[in-house]
Amino acid sequence: MSNVEAEPAEVTCTSTPGGVEVLTPRDVPLGGPRAMSVRRTLPQKQRSLIGAWCFCDHYGPDDTSMDVAPHPHTGLQTVSWLFTGEIEHRDSHGVHAYVRPGELNLMTGGRGICHSEQSTPSSTTLHGVQLWLALPDAHRDAPRDFQHYAPPTVDVDGASVRVFLGTLAGSTSPVRTFTPLLGAELVLPPGTSLTLDVSEEFEHGVLLDTGDLRLGDTSLDPNSLGYLGTGHTSLTLSTVEGARVVLLGGEPFGEEIVMWWNFVGRTHDEIAAYREEWQAETDRFGRVEGYPGDRLPAPKLPGGRLRPRGNPA
pLDDT greater at residue 244 or residue 62 = 244
pLDDT above 70 covers a percentage of the chain that reads 92
295: closest CA among 305, 283, 286, 304?
A: 286
pLDDT greater at residue 2 or residue 76 = 76
- Asked whether the predicted pLDDT for residue 266 surpasses 70, the reply is yes
Residue 9 carries which DSSP code? Answer: P
Amino acid 253 reads F
226: closest CA among 244, 255, 210, 246?
A: 246
CB 222 within 8 A of CB 209: yes
pLDDT tens for each residue of 130-161: 999 999 999 999 999 999 999 999 999 999 99
Residue 101 carries which DSSP code? Answer: B
Q: How confident is the model at residue 19, as a pLDDT?
A: 87
Cut 0.75: pTM above it: yes
CB 188 within 8 A of CB 194: yes
CB 192 within 8 A of CB 161: no
Which has the minimum average pLDDT: 4-13, 285-294, 301-310?
4-13
CB 249 within 8 A of CB 205: yes
Phi and psi torsions of 230, nearest 5°: -70, 170
Q: How confident is the model at residue 104, as a pLDDT?
A: 98
Phi and psi torsions of 34, nearest 5°: -105, 50
244: closest CA among 86, 129, 79, 100?
A: 129
Q: How confident is the model at residue 258, as a pLDDT?
A: 97
- Asked whether the predicted pLDDT for residue 12 surpasses 60, the reply is no
Q: Give the chain's mean pLDDT.
A: 93
CA Rg value for the chain: 18
- Asked whether the predicted pLDDT for residue 33 surpasses 60, the reply is no
Residue range 236-264: mean pLDDT, rounded? 97
Q: How confident is the model at residue 309, as a pLDDT?
A: 84
SS3 223: coil
9: closest CA among 20, 23, 19, 22?
A: 23
pLDDT above 90 covers a percentage of the chain that reads 87
